[in-house]
Structure 1
Amino acid sequence: MQALAEKYQPLYAALGLHPGMLEKHSDVSLDQLQQALERRPAKVVAVGEIGLDLFGDDPQFE
């Protein structure tokens, strides 16, 4: 997302981790997020929970 935001003027990016996947994130994931935020990219405007709660058994998402 960050690369797309840099490439296209009207786009901005948000960084974060999906709350439903927290058990799969490692310390490396948190370190990578922290490093990205420390660079203070101009097009990153938000930090928080990221992702869509799309589940295969929900008919509205088929």
Structure 2
Amino acid sequence: MLKDNQKHNESVAPNSAFLSELQRALPEFFTADRYNEQGELIAKGGFDLAKFLSLSTIMST
């Protein structure tokens, strides 16, 4: 059962519509894609959870 859950989790893709909505509302919590000198993608941008959590920690104090 645990292995089945792990396999399922590996195949799950993020909800792109929800991520797009979040990026429009909270752009400061998203990182940009990074490219090398040849223009090849080396790191996909995404939601910066650490930055978001650090803000929520600051807000709760």
TM-score range relative to shorter protein: under 0.3
**Larger % of helix: which?**
2
Q: TM-score with structure 1 length normalisation?
A: 0.24
Relative CO higher for 1 or 2, CA cutoff 8 Å, sep ≥ 6?
Answer: 1
Q: Which has the larger radius of gyration?
A: 2
